[in-house]
């Protein structure tokens, strides 16, 4: 029999057309997964504000996800309210106004809050108390924790089996072990910190040398910032001067992933740590603290964010700063010369970056406040917006 390539090709096409839809979809999905990771500017996303909310005063916006829906949330201190917006429609979904007095009184000294569910919101105060309230601002429970000032909520906080996973901010206040730990578990039922985990030296290079530098006589240097986020299984950690993301399962480090830009050299601890210096001026028993501000700063990372679907990690990288004159007080202050946004695909470990329009965005020194991640991408608050009836974010996400 003679070989006829045309007939064979026709036969293959005929067979693939019969019941081939499912195979085609699988193939399309595989091809989509193999597409190079590409970050793009998706434009502006706006949310309307009521007359009680000033867009310039909003800090720590974040995404809460429940039943597959995303909600933008933030706390407004002037009216003591927690806001939730339907992310997709950008419409106000719920406003939870807390009482200051009475049986459901929550003091207006909120440090952080963590939404576990829509009817289960944990509130951390700068005092020794934590509160658990429902969606109607009614107090469900109250916890008095002597160590409360030493822990707080962050991007890696979770609540499982009546236990909160929190960040340790002043380890020496816990006074339970001689070793410093960066995270702790609070058992809500027994009002106590039951265990601590993740030691700084497990992922911070030159940790002992950094501590020695911090303890230099005549200097007061703040601790090196630690960035944490978490999904259902892992905790992801890094620092402003690390090119790597370190992945922990409980107290055990699983692996590290490179998450930097090869062409940019990040500051080492000897050049970065002096940026955290504070001068304590004492006078007749009273004192004041002055931050030492270096106007020409080297490159370092400012934030770490995880998408709610746990697919992507985002990092903000400051390429450096330069001095700029404040015309109101005639003093110089540091402004970012350039910045990049990096994204890491956690399933493929592929990483890419995009240069940011720093003149149009609120990117702070040394860390930025008005930033959050949704499944659409990373949102950075716009600079110089004129409409006071809304808050505007620039969105950068995967194409």
pLDDT digits (tens, 9 = 90+) for 193-226: 888 899 999 999 999 999 888 888 777 888 899 9
CB 341 within 8 A of CB 319: no
pLDDT digits (tens, 9 = 90+) for 180-196: 899 999 999 888 888 88
Question: Tell me, what's the pLDDT at 59?
Answer: 85
Question: Tell me, what's the pLDDT at 290?
Answer: 63
Number of Cβ atoms within 10 Å of the Cβ of 221: 18
Question: Tell me, what's the pLDDT at 33?
Answer: 54
**pTM of the full structure:** 0.87
**Beta bridge mates, 304:** 315
The angle formed by the CA atoms of residues 154, 158 and 160, to the nearest 5 degrees, is 160
Q: Which residue has the higher pLDDT, 334 or 1?
A: 334
Residue 265 gets which letter from DSSP? P
Give the helix/strand (H/E) hosting 22: helix 21-33
3-state secondary structure of 105: strand
Question: Tell me, what's the pLDDT at 367?
Answer: 79
| Confidence label for 15 from pLDDT (cuts 50, 70 and 90) | very low
| Confidence label for 235 from pLDDT (cuts 50, 70 and 90) | very high
Backbone dihedral region of 262: left (phi > 0), alpha (psi from -120 to 50 degrees) or beta? Answer: alpha
What is the residue-averaged pLDDT of the chain? 87
pLDDT digits (tens, 9 = 90+) for 272-306: 988 887 665 555 444 555 666 788 999 999 989 99
Alpha carbons 39 and 235: distance in angstroms, whole number: 24
| Confidence label for 8 from pLDDT (cuts 50, 70 and 90) | very low
CB 355 within 8 A of CB 395: no
Confidence check: pLDDT of 13 > 50: no
Confidence check: pLDDT of 20 > 80: no
| The token pair that represents 253 in the structure block | 């480090």
Alpha carbons 69 and 62: distance in angstroms, whole number: 14
pLDDT digits (tens, 9 = 90+) for 66-116: 999 999 999 999 999 999 999 999 999 999 999 999 999 999 889 999 999
CB 216 within 8 A of CB 155: no
The stretch 42-66 carries a mean pLDDT of 95
Percent of the chain topping pLDDT 70: 85
Q: What is the dihedral of CA 389, 79, 146, 249, to 10 degrees?
A: -30
| Confidence label for 147 from pLDDT (cuts 50, 70 and 90) | low
Confidence check: pLDDT of 5 > 50: no
- Tell me which residue of 70, 32, 41, 30 sits closest to 307, measured CA to CA: 70
Question: Tell me, what's the pLDDT at 176?
Answer: 52
CA of 47: how far to CAs of 60, 242, 364, in Å? 15, 34, 21
């Amino acid at each position: 029999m003679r070989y006829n390539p045309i007939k064979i090709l026709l036969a293959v096409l005929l067979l693939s057309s019969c019941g081939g839809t499912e195979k085609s979809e699988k193939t399309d999905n595989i091809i989509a997964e193999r597409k190079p990771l590409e970050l793009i500017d998706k434009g502006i996303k706006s949310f309307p504000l009521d007359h009680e909310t000033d867009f310039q005063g909003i800090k720590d916006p974040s995404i809460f996800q429940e039943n597959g829906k995303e909600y933008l949330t933030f706390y407004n201190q002037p009216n003591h309210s927690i806001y939730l917006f339907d992310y997709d429609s950008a419409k106000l979904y719920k406003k939870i106004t807390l009482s200051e007095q009475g049986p459901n009184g929550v003091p207006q000294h909120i440090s952080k809050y963590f939404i576990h569910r829509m009817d289960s919101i944990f509130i951390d105060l700068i005092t020794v108390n934590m509160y658990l309230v429902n969606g109607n601002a009614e107090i469900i429970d109250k916890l008095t924790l002597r160590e409360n000032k030493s822990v707080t909520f962050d991007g890696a906080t979770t609540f499982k089996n009546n236990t909160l996973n929190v960040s340790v901010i002043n380890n020496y206040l816990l006074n339970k072990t001689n070793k410093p730990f960066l995270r702790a578990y609070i058992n809500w039922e027994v009002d106590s910190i039951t265990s601590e985990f993740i030691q700084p030296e497990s992922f911070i290079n030159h940790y002992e040398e950094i501590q020695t530098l911090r303890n230099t006589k005549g200097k007061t240097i703040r601790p090196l910032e630690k960035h944490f986020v978490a999904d259902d299984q892992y905790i992801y950690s890094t620092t402003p001067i690390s090119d790597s993301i370190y992945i922990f399962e409980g107290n055990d480090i699983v692996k590290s992933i490179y998450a930097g830009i090869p062409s940019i050299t990040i500051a080492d601890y000897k050049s970065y740590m002096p940026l955290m210096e504070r001068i304590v001026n004492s006078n007749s028993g009273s004192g004041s603290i002055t931050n030492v501000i270096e106007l020409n700063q080297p490159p370092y990372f400012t934030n770490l964010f995880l998408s709610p679907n746990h697919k992507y990690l985002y990092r903000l990288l400051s390429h450096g700063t330069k001095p700029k004159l404040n015309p109101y007080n005639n003093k110089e202050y540091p402004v970012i010369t350039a910045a990049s946004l990096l994204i890491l695909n956690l399933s493929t470990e592929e990483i890419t970056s995009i240069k940011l329009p720093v003149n149009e965005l609120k990117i702070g020194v040394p860390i930025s406040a008005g930033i959050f991640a949704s499944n659409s991408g990373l949102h950075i608050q716009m600079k110089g917006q004129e409409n006071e009836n809304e808050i505007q974010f620039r969105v950068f996400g995967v194409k």
